Structure 1
Amino acid sequence: MSSPTPSTSAPDDADPGSGSGRWRRLGLIGAAIVAVVAVVAGIVAVSGGGDQAGRPAAAGTPIVEDNYSDVVVSTEWLAANLDDPSIRVIEVSTEPGVYERGHIPGAWNYNWTTDFVSTVNRDVVSREDFTALTRRSGIDPDTTVVLYGDKENWFAAWGAWVFNLYGHENVKLLDGGRVKWEAEGRTLDVGAPQPGQGSWEAGEADPNLRAFLPDVVEVARAAESGAETDTALVDIRGAAEFNGEIFAPEGFQETAVRAGHIPGAVNVTWSEAVADDGTFLPVDELRALYAEQGIDGSKPIVAYCRIGERASHTWFVLSQILGYDVQLYDGSWTEYGNTVGVPVVNNAGTVWGVA
């Protein structure tokens, strides 16, 4: 996978995130019985307190059963826990040199173009190489890994997917990422971290988290024939990519000879899941956003984009926050759109790379 041309904005800025409310909902507090839930709800309503991730709770707001507090932490929470040796902070940004200009104190730098991928055979980083990388950055089996980055955590979410793919059990994203941390005037450091050698070993890749071309083609052929499909497809690219008006956002070189989308896919741009400050929308708004397109967790979901990374952000929202059964199709449109004989929907009428 090759790197996008450096840009100061995400490629889907033409499709900004939406949502009127910006309150955070109280996350899942175990499999509590109804009486305990009622007590906790009463306490929140009276005190206006937050959850373990540092999210403020709106008084009188119903408790939503989600995984938010298990997988997302606030800037306040991270700032208060930077000295905890059981936490390892990792930055995954796309803009060259941004980490070197200053990063969250103690944060390790992972390069998405080399650390998360096998650069020659266009695949995910091998189990052996990922083990070596994480051990160099001091990660043990019980380490809490907190990832953050630029562009609303777009590539930090890719890192979270890789960690989950190889079985690390405690992986979180920093809500709002680097932009929110900087906007709040929080401390940045230029020094390189010096962690001790870690002991975590990557496991076998979890097949439940990854979809491959044959899986997607099977769904596409069923959708093309008008049959009911057992899997929902979510294309998270911008509307212009989805409709075939463009082959890739300006400045991004990885493309396909055909434009359009996979039959049966619905279009929910990844950036719609975040607020203006880069934080995730409240859980009820996230559920409603995807439910409007028929994505409600009632059947397995496959998310895809152009080269796999943007879709990891949607994978994180749907699977890690909302708890749906989701696979990432990391081959995405550059694989599918270059494959001979597969069905394609092209609303714009572009043919073989000619608009």
Structure 2
Amino acid sequence: MGEAYVHPEVLVSADWVEAHQNDPKVRIVESDEDVLLYDMGHVPGAVKIDWQGDLQDQLIRDYIDAEKFAEICSRSGISNDTTVVFYGDKSNWWACYAFWAFKLFGHKDCRIMNGGRKLWVDQNRTQTKDVPKYPATEYKVAGADESAIRIFRDAVLEHSKAGKALLDVRSPKEFTGEKLHMEDYPQEGSLRGGHIPGAVSVPWSRAVNEDGTFKSVEELKAIYEGEVGLKSTDDVVAYCRIGERSSLTWFVLTYLLGYPKVRNYDGSWCEWGNLVRAPIAKGA
């Protein structure tokens, strides 16, 4: 971490989390791809929020409504002024996804524990199987300008046609169209492989170190600005398969590099790869 970050308070260390485990103004949230991990052991005091079962509407492909979001916050002991710190597996993929979802509903103070679950475990920090119970709150959804951080397919098409910055953060073989999914993952319904025309391949994994922590600002700028040619004034759209990996890239560009206009296309390739007449490109 360090003072070089534009928003240093948003990325907190494991030490910081350990020091605030019993702080009533802080709520620690674990959000994983593997929903069984929390039950195997978690940061003491942490609650579990399932990115799919809790945050996703079970009938339509969208997020839950404001009323259900307020219920989740209430049962988790989260008030409007609570500092919510997210962490999880996969170098914080799903933690960033939950962070992004909370921002869609206008929660003000959201943070990410640098290194996520992996670093916490690797450092042999205390874990527990105890599930905490917090007094219910009266959470009121503040609301936010969804269009500031989220974009839909028609707007993505216009973005692509205009030649604006478009980042495909999937693996290289997904980008070229050789694969329809990540290695060792199930095929999730895309009929075609490839990428959105004009997109540049910048795999999400390039933004993190082997221990799960984020790379330094200097290293990140070398990738996104030195190699890709992004500028902080660019209108940037990131996408992946279902929006989870691209939420991590959105977090990096928005909070670690301070880009003011970055949007996540959570429809991503599962939607685009099935759209009738949607243009695609193949190869590098």
TM-score calculated relative to the size of structure 2: 0.95
Q: Distance in 1 between matches of 2:252 and 2:127?
A: 27
Alpha-carbon deviation of 1:204?
Answer: 3.1
- Verify the 8 A CA contact 1:255 1:306 in the aligned structure 2: no
Alignment partner of 1:213 is 2:153: yes
> What residue in structure 1 maps to residue 142 of structure 2?
203
The one-letter amino acid of 1:338's match is N
Alignment partner of 1:323 is 2:263: no
Give me the identity figure in percent: 43
> What residue in structure 1 maps to residue 211 of structure 2?
277
Alpha-carbon deviation of 1:331?
Answer: 0.4
3-state SS in 2 of match to 1:84: coil
Residues 108-153 of structure 1, C-alpha deviations (whole Å, 9 max, x = no match): 0111111111122111222111111011101111100000001101
Alignment partner of 1:342 is 2:267: no
Q: Distance in 1 between matches of 2:107 and 2:35?
A: 27
Q: CA RMSD in A?
A: 1.4
Alpha-carbon deviation of 1:199?
Answer: 2.5
- Structure 1: which 5+ residue stretches go unaligned? 1-23, 27-63, 223-228, 349-355
3-state SS in 2 of match to 1:234: strand
Q: Distance in 2 between matches of 1:110 and 1:125?
A: 13
Q: Which has the larger radius of gyration?
A: 1
> What residue in structure 2 maps to residue 237 of structure 1?
170
Q: Distance in 1 between matches of 2:139 and 2:220?
A: 33
> What residue in structure 2 maps to residue 25 of structure 1?
2
Residues 11-64 of structure 1, C-alpha deviations (whole Å, 9 max, x = no match): xxxxxxxxxxxxx432xxxxxxxxxxxxxxxxxxxxxxxxxxxxxxxxxxxxx3
Alpha-carbon deviation of 1:244?
Answer: 0.6
How many residue pairs align between the two structures?
280
- Verify the 8 A CA contact 2:207 2:215 in the aligned structure 1: yes
Q: Distance in 1 between matches of 2:64 and 2:249?
A: 21
> What residue in structure 2 maps to residue 148 of structure 1?
87
TM-score calculated relative to the size of structure 1: 0.76
Q: Distance in 2 between matches of 1:163 and 1:204?
A: 10
- Verify the 8 A CA contact 1:287 1:296 in the aligned structure 2: no
Q: 1:258 to 1:280 in 2, by over 3 A?
A: same
> What residue in structure 1 maps to residue 39 of structure 2?
100
Q: Distance in 2 between matches of 1:95 and 1:287?
A: 31
- Structure 2: which 5+ residue stretches go unaligned? none
> What residue in structure 1 maps to residue 248 of structure 2?
313
Q: Distance in 1 between matches of 2:262 and 2:19?
A: 32
Q: Distance in 2 between matches of 1:116 and 1:320?
A: 22
